Amino acid sequence: MTDTPSPLPPRLKEIVEDFNLCEGREKLDLLFDYSQRMPPLPASLQGHREQFEQVHECMTPVFVHAETTDNQMKFYFDVPEESPSVRGYAALLSEGVDGSTPEEILAIPGDFYYAMGLQEVLSGQRLNGMRAILAYIKRLAKRELNGENN
């Protein structure tokens, strides 16, 4: 074991470790659990799709909204319940990076989901969508660093 710090925010690292305790179908079940417990959008965002940005690279309609308070970012996702794997990934990502700084978000490896073993249970197309969602929140973090989010 190494003393090298993880590039993952602490909560996201815990989530990755939880997935590592699962095998095969259990990984999908855990992903679906995250899908089911995705919190509802706050009232200020419900029905206001114009406040969201679409992740066009994802085949599932995924919309994301970022807010920053005291250099801590929070992401809200709107993903249809009919896409539980993508919705679950968005939910675990939202939970895992909640309160992270833009710098911490930018440090997350683009393929960190491989450490969760998701490639064992999901198609390449789904994995590409997940990569796109992470890339998109990194773009929002970069905009925040550059002072472009208002």
Q: What are the tokens at 93?
A: 């990502």
Q: What is the pLDDT of residue 111?
A: 87
> What range defines the domain where residue 114 resides?
10-41+51-145
Check if the beta carbon of residue 32 is closer than 8 Å to that of residue 84. Answer: yes
Residue type, 150: N
Quote the pLDDT of residue 56. 92
**Residues 132, 57 contacting (CB under 8 angstroms):** yes
What are the backbone angles phi and psi of residue 65, rounded to the nearest 5°?
Answer: -130, 135
- Tell me what pLDDT residue 34 has: 97
Spatial distance between the Cα atoms of 138 and 86, rounded to a whole number of angstroms? 17
Q: Please report, for the domain that includes residue 79, its CATH number.
A: 3.90.1010.10
Q: Give yes or no for a contact between 63 and 77, defined as CB atoms under 8 angstroms apart.
A: yes
The pLDDT value recorded for residue 150 is: 52
For residue 140, is it within any domain?
yes
How high is the pLDDT of residue 148? 78
118 within domain boundaries:
yes
The predicted structure's pLDDT at residue 149: 64
How many domains is the chain partitioned into structurally? 1
- Are 73 and 105 in contact by the 8 Å Cβ rule? The answer is yes
Label the pairing between strands 72-78 and 53-54. unpaired
Residue 150 located in a structural domain: no
1 falls within a domain: no
pLDDT tens sequence for the chain (150 residues): 444 557 899 999 999 999 999 999 999 999 999 999 999 999 999 989 899 999 999 889 999 999 999 999 999 999 999 999 999 999 999 999 999 999 999 999 988 989 999 999 999 899 999 999 999 999 999 999 998 765
In a domain, 100, yes or no: yes
| Among the listed residues 53, 31, 58, 35, the one whose alpha carbon sits nearest the alpha carbon of residue 132 | 58
State in Å, rounded, how far the first CA of the chain is from the last one: 42
Residue 139: inside a domain: yes
* pLDDT value at residue 124: 87
